[in-house]
Amino acid sequence: MYSVLIVDDEYIIRQGLKKLINWEELGFVIVGEADNAHSAEELALKFNPDLLLLDIRMPGNDGLSLLKSLRHQGIKSKVIFLTGFAEFEYAKKAIPLDVEAFLTKPIDEEELFEHLSVIKEKLDKASHIEIQLNRQEMLERLRQYRHLLMGLKSSSILKMHDQATHCVVEVQYKDTIDQVSGVIDQYQKKHQEVIALLVAESWVIIYKNLNKKQIKTALKQLTSELKLGLDQPFFISAGRIVEGYLDIHLSFSDAKKIGQRWYLSDEETCTWYEECVIKEEQVLYFDNETVFDFIEVNNHDALSQYLTAFKSSVSTMTISFESLKGLLAQNMFIIIERFSHHYPNIKISLPSNREIGEKLYKASHINLIFDLMFEVFMDLMNAIHSGSKESTIYRVLDYIKHHYHQEITLDKLGGLFGYNSSYLGTIFKHNTGKSFTKYLDGIRLEKAKEILNNNELKVYEVASMVGYKSVDYFYLKFKQAEGMSPKKYQKNHSQKDED
């Protein structure tokens, strides 16, 4: 809709103009009206209307003087002058002021309609040209930034003279590109100072003239919006802050290096390059002979320590996830082959090399790979030193049964039974089919139901009795398991007893 301001000192004329035609059908909307030049000038500066219907003769300043003043102040509205009779001297003076038409009162409906149609066509054309120019300007700007990200320096880039600080951020994701683009578009509308562009199926965001603290705040907002808008994990990597525009490629290179390390970080997270320790010159080496020695001597603590140290060393290097998977798969195959060669009489059910390869390929995080390695290596160790897994897990489950109401963690159980917590978690899931946390929650919630069935205790009392320090966490877990709150569960059971 194009905006219209009506200016005439006669009330009946103003009202007649508003009712003479259907303005909205023509694509116009009346945003205001005035009966004198002073009020008209204030409204014109406020609304900057697309069209002015302007009376030539009014008390005080006339319409021509008002239009001159508005033109000097940058108002470029289309203008139709209204007059009680033909005023040729005014028409001559109005030519330099770009007036569309003179209409004689009383206004003829068809004549007004005809002029409005012509004016709308001009406004549409001007709007289209402006949109195209803005689009071309935006595309050229994005093209320049693409070149800067790649370290290219064209003649047009060298004319930018942009000495602002820049920080480049890469957003990787597993959702569809349309879903992510929708979230990024909304983010950019809220933060118009940022530059966002798609580079090789990842979104790249460039922050200008922000210090480290401000960028961190902006990234927290971006992370929050991505969490709300996406269903799948994502990863944000931020490069260093650089001075000027010619070093933007350095910040982008930082972000790309950090982005390759998504598998090291928790899902839905953000990593800053300056806070990472990276030793690019080092070569990653996995000592499969030492690992097999640990397996043979049944030293699961030493094995766990080695794998933990190896995983820590990975976090300081710029190795891609696929390369890491390949390295670890190769060494797992060597260890399994060595086991078969040294112990040909021991029959054990292990995943085939193909199955191991498929599991590694599907793994999205480094912890999943090391969980698989623990499981395979523990199976080998227990095959050589039979019986330890069954007796250990039996004692662990018995302990949980009698101490569920106390604070229990895998670290605590590992200390009690002389096992590494990661290994204990692996054999726990292998034997129960559940993670330690889910198993413990199940024991506690079943006990909570027994208490709620037979007592009228408060919910926070029941939570404390079964080992939950936070009543809110107990409430959440109970509702997830039972589909209702503890209080409702207790109330429903009481009603059944009464029935």
Q: In the prediction, which pLDDT does 275 show?
A: 67
Q: Which amino acid is at 9?
A: D
Instruction: Determine contact, residues 251/166, Cβ cutoff 8 Å.
Output: yes
Question: 2-124 maps to which CATH number?
Answer: 3.40.50.2300
The DSSP bridge partners found for residue 271 are 237
Q: Assign domain 161-275 to its CATH superfamily.
A: Reverse transcriptase/Diguanylate cyclase domain (3.30.70.270)
What residues contact residue 146 under an 8 Å CB cut-off, 6+ apart?
197, 199
Closest CA to 258 of 166, 198, 320: 320
How far, in whole angstroms, is CA 20 from its chain's centroid? 52
pTM of the complete model beyond 0.85: no
Q: In the prediction, which pLDDT does 84 show?
A: 72
Alpha carbons 312 and 290: distance in angstroms, whole number: 18
Alpha carbons 17 and 288: distance in angstroms, whole number: 90
Instruction: Determine contact, residues 49/5, Cβ cutoff 8 Å.
Output: yes
Q: In the prediction, which pLDDT does 405 show?
A: 87
What residues contact residue 490 under an 8 Å CB cut-off, 6+ apart?
452, 453, 456, 459
Q: Is 392-498 CATH 3.40.50.11540?
A: no
Q: What is the pLDDT along the chain (499 residues), one digit of tens a residue?
A: 899 999 998 899 999 999 888 999 999 999 999 998 889 999 999 999 999 999 888 877 788 888 888 888 888 899 998 887 656 566 556 666 778 888 888 888 899 999 999 999 998 888 877 766 666 777 777 788 888 888 877 655 545 556 788 999 998 887 677 888 888 888 888 887 788 888 877 899 999 888 888 888 888 888 888 888 888 778 888 889 998 888 899 999 888 888 877 777 655 466 776 666 565 656 789 999 889 888 876 777 888 889 989 988 887 777 888 889 999 999 999 999 988 888 888 888 888 889 998 988 888 788 888 889 988 998 898 887 775 444 567 767 867 887 788 888 888 787 656 678 888 888 888 888 888 999 999 999 999 999 988 877 888 999 999 999 888 899 899 999 989 998 888 888 776 555 5
Residue 42 host element (H or E): helix 37-47
